Amino acid sequence: MKTSLLKTLTASSILIATVAIPGCGTTTGTRSVTGALMGAAGGAVIGSLSAQAGAGALIGLGVGSLGGYLYDQHKKGNL
């Protein structure tokens, strides 16, 4: 019981950080890279819950990179 609760809390914390941290950069590149790294970490943790850490990391990498780019474009007023 404690293990599943810990995994859920860890996954939730990483998901929140994945959304919050890409906003820390100031350029398109830094926001995209930060988003990609946090997405990969979050995807790996979430994927490990179903024994698919590698696939989760790859999916998280793509989603995080796209999220960081879109956030950057929004901050610049392009979206």
Task: Quick: pLDDT tens for 48-75.
Answer: 777 777 888 888 888 888 888 888 888 8
Which tokens is 49 given? 């819950």
Task: Note the pLDDT of residue 19.
Answer: 61
Confidence of residue 14 (pLDDT cuts 50, 70, 90): low
Task: Note the pLDDT of residue 18.
Answer: 58
pTM: 0.61
The predicted-structure confidence for 20-44, as pLDDT tens digits, reads as follows: 665 567 788 888 888 888 788 878 8
Q: Which residues of 22-49 are buried (b: 16+ CB within 10 A; e: fewer)?
A: bbebeeeeebbbbbbbbbbbbbbbbbbe
Q: 76: which DSSP letter?
A: T
CA distance 57 to 66: 14
